[in-house]
Structure 1
């Protein structure tokens, strides 16, 4: 998806936020796709959301994924993989929300404990 000022799109930066929008306890971790409602973080008509934050699990190669609500193709998924056990890893990724401002997420938990997943909506495109 291409966004430009000519097309009438605009990037909105949330500025210096005081805390993360989501922490590890906000996510259901069950090896299934779950819904994250962003309606209290982004306005109606948002085309793209940029997240930034940190993740940490007890194993290397722990993975979590984010995608547009209802998408099924794996290629449309933002995949985050921990690089080492018990080490914080910075993440930065974009997800397209659906018209209801929802996205899907999945945390792989088979043999994995997620200690941290702290995410902030840094900016979005409207």
Structure 2
């Protein structure tokens, strides 16, 4: 029997991170979107619906980027059982995890919207 080690390198995708933050902000529920709701939205937005491999890659990437956003303090996750007064150690699947923006997450989005897009320099009537 041979053992094969597969290493998957996950790269940071700033656009995906931004899209996650915007979707969480736009969700009009008190608890925020669940992982399944976020996943469904991103599958449509990224146009990978119907491609099982691409959907699985996106699911893995979402999990990774949400962890990064939590580590940075932009989002917090709450389990459904925490809202119901039960212990967060109870068995919970990803579909019962909800995401909310923190103050820092809101500040980041507000700041990113006030940034003026890059405009090329004008030199003697032509762009550089």
TM over 0.5: no
Q: When you count helix as a share of all residues, which structure comes out higher?
A: 2
- Bigger RCO (CA 8 Å, 6+ sep): 1
Q: Identify the structure with the greater strand proportion.
A: 1
